[in-house]
Structure 1
Amino acid sequence: MDDRTALAERFEEDRSHLKAVAYRMLGSASEADDAVQESWLRVAQADVGGVQNLTGWLTTVVGRVCLNMLRTRRTRREDPLDVYDRTPGPGEGDDPEQEALLADSVGLALLVVLDTLAPAERLAFVLHDMFAVPFAEIGPLIDHSADSARQLASRARRRVKGGATSPDADLPRRRRVVEAFLSASRGGDFDALLALLHPDVVLHADRSVIPTPEPVVVRGARTVAKGAMAATGRALFTGVALVDGAVALAMAPQGRLRLVLGFTIVDGLITEIDVVADPDRLGGLDIGVLDD
């Protein structure tokens, strides 16, 4: 077996690990696949004779490719929200259910917070905190010292965990209600949705949600439940997060925040839902990761 064949086999052994790195860096399964493939093209041309920790070296190669992709990515694409209200047909892209399962396995709220970080912060945090890459190896990737890379990871860590605590003693109960709403929306369970909504519930949606010339106001449990039933595509890419200290739902296809649902809950029933999609409003929200 020649060296190139052995390297290709080793790369395939590490492919799932490398995709996991790329997915946490990019938040998109398809982009992660592209990053891994681009990494192989680089690795295939490299001299790895002196590499002692090949998996670690491959991880840093993928990290550098992802860093370049993050730096060139447009900060926020202007895809209409109705793109996520349907299942793509043949040839239109990845399986949305598989993408959603992958996001759930990582934590959608975490992906949302990571998307708010500068590329170098994201790289330092992901490689060190999630994959135990030493800062001495991370620093050169971002043209920083090891100490500077450590500071970037620390800053990112504070951002990820900064909103994770709340003085609200009722947080676990509110979380159960919001999680039940998401589960019923994903499953298309109309009766379960009705059971969670106050009969006089009011839903407010800003003009970017539909979009419409004016903000939308919807009243009544049955009407609100019907709207949730019609948005199962969005629910696939939605997860529970802490938003401005309250339990909420964040929709983030490909790890990029597009919509937030805030809830007012009284005596175990949802009395008000505030749906935010306006980019300026979304940018002003403090998104955090809820403790398990």
Structure 2
Amino acid sequence: MYEASPEVSVYARCRRVPWTNDPGPLGGVQLGLHDGRSETILSGEAGIKTTLFDNKVRFNLSGFAYRVKDIQLNGNDSDGNGVLFNADKAEAYGLEAELEARPIPNLTLTAGLSLLHTEIKDPDVYAQVCALNGTVVCTVEDPTITNARGVFAQIDGNPLPNAPKYTANLTARYDVPLGNGGTLFAATDWMLQGHTNFVLYKTREFHSDGDFEGGLRIGYTAPGGRYEMAAFARNITNEKNLKGVIENYMAAVFNEPRVIGGSISAKY
């Protein structure tokens, strides 16, 4: 860490971490490859942290990269049972930025952006694809091979599951101080998520892209923050976003629909 000035500092760090998770009884062999090895993670990060304009603006920016040697991956066998197996390695790199600003009294704005690229690197590793009673039930877009144990997709070059290419968020909150020391407030928050694969192999069905969701909250905070009463709405545009899949059964896991409610909280 180096403090260039009271408002600006820069940092860098590098770590190598052996991860000794033992697959144990779930160590199902996928085509007999690399089964049961422990992971080793090598990661690096560098960035800048700033506080500007008399603390009215805070901006942080960082870049990172990591490599997971003998990465342990979760898949299924031909009966839909979970298995844990290794690929040679996976690599990732990305960028993260966050901004907090108070342009006028009582108004706070925040924004965040994350960019991420992940990639499995092993030309010899394959994963069992979606199958039910021996029949492939999804549209697999990777090269496949078939043997007595089922249909397997080559996953070399694919992204890691649940690793969105980008995420962005935005929040705003306005507070109105009252004469008794309490506060009225109104706040909103929004999230946007880029292309996300939910399984190890590429399919026409098991991914999402461009999902977004917003929320709204208005309420009253008592003097000293002793208690708060608020009305809220989640997923105010009633989006239907895919959050996960049960691949063998072609089952989708979605976010919650629009929720409107109220809350009371107290601190002692």
* TM-score interval for Structure 1 and Structure 2 normalised by the shorter chain: under 0.3
Greater gyration radius = 2
Which has the larger strand fraction? Answer: 2
Higher RCO by CA contacts (8 Å cutoff, separation 6 or greater): 1
User: What is the TM-score normalised by the length of structure 1?
Assistant: 0.26
More helix by share: 1
TM-score (norm: length of structure 2): 0.27
